[in-house]
Structure 1
């Protein structure tokens, strides 16, 4: 066997579950956007998504108080903005202006959609019971938007420590799932 021990602190780089997203939140005074890679699907119907947000992030307090957000799925076209947002704290800066992103009104929640992202999922907080211990929010998607003109979106996938993989070729295999 050619496998060697791997540092436990880097295990997440092996199983990162999907594309990096931009999570938007809003309250009466401001809007915020944060880069998020620690999230996972939990249920098909209703669609539930679990995500980890640190209590040190501005988005944490905004999500806790508003109980709603939008998960926006960017493509490689705005990769530098995605990384810049992830390296910037939103308490005292308008990240939409700084990173030249266009917020648009959502239909079911107060947080904005991001026009430059190919998909946006309007969410409401469904369960916060694991937030105090793990920072784990369970969100229910209440409205979904997608740019259907983009046939093969090249999404970003975080591999840790500034490394990203870009989604590539799509293959189709026979499935009995409906």
Structure 2
């Protein structure tokens, strides 16, 4: 199979680790939603998630101040709202209102859940040592919620407005429980 060189700026589209999530934060009566695809699992128990949030994003300051958030996992039917949240700054816009999303109270953090998402992970920041250099936060999931239905199709960002929708589910023999 012939190969061609790939621009280094496109490498991340090959390695995106998981579905696009909607990260919610809240502070001082203000709440925000940002689309996030640069995240990775770091540990199973307790569940730790690492994520990169640019210090140019409004959510960066909210997360740094409050040290808590919710990772809301949308299905493909929310793709337009996900892209809208990703292309809009929350500094002056209520993204819940603009994109027709419903905020629900979380049980362990002040940031809201998004009711339309099939799963919600309430998180607290547990490590900020890599924030100054890489804007990399380590989050501990302290409460998790999931719709009882079968897993829906998720969206995965490839860059520059392109996405892949998760496909067929496979169940193969594994030693992991």
TM-score norm. by structure 1 comes to 0.98
Query: Shift of residue 48 of structure 1?
Result: 0.2
Query: What do you get for the CA RMSD once the two structures are aligned?
Result: 0.7
State the match for 2:155 in structure 1. Answer: 156
SS for the counterpart of 2:137 is strand
Query: Shift of residue 4 of structure 1?
Result: 1.6
Query: Shift of residue 140 of structure 1?
Result: 0.2
Query: Shift of residue 152 of structure 1?
Result: 3.0
State the match for 1:24 in structure 2. Answer: 24
Q: Give the whole-Å Cα distance in 2 for the aligned partners of 1:5 and 1:34.
A: 32
Query: Shift of residue 177 of structure 1?
Result: 1.2
State the match for 1:126 in structure 2. Answer: 126
SS for the counterpart of 1:3 is coil
State the match for 1:169 in structure 2. Answer: 168
Once the two structures are superposed, what CA deviation does each residue of 1:72-124 show, in whole Å capped at 9, x if it has no partner? 00001110000000000000010000000000000000000000000000000
User: Which ranges of structure 2 fall in alignment gaps of 5 or more residues?
Assistant: none
Q: Give the whole-Å Cα distance in 1 for the aligned partners of 2:147 and 2:32.
A: 23
Q: Give the whole-Å Cα distance in 1 for the aligned partners of 2:8 and 2:141.
A: 32
Q: Give the whole-Å Cα distance in 1 for the aligned partners of 2:151 and 2:93.
A: 33
Q: Give the whole-Å Cα distance in 2 for the aligned partners of 1:165 and 1:14.
A: 11
Deviation above 4 Å: which 4+ runs of structure 1? none
Q: Give the whole-Å Cα distance in 1 for the aligned partners of 2:151 and 2:89.
A: 31
Aligned length: 177
Given the alignment of the two structures, is residue 87 of structure 1 paired with residue 118 of structure 2, yes or no?
no
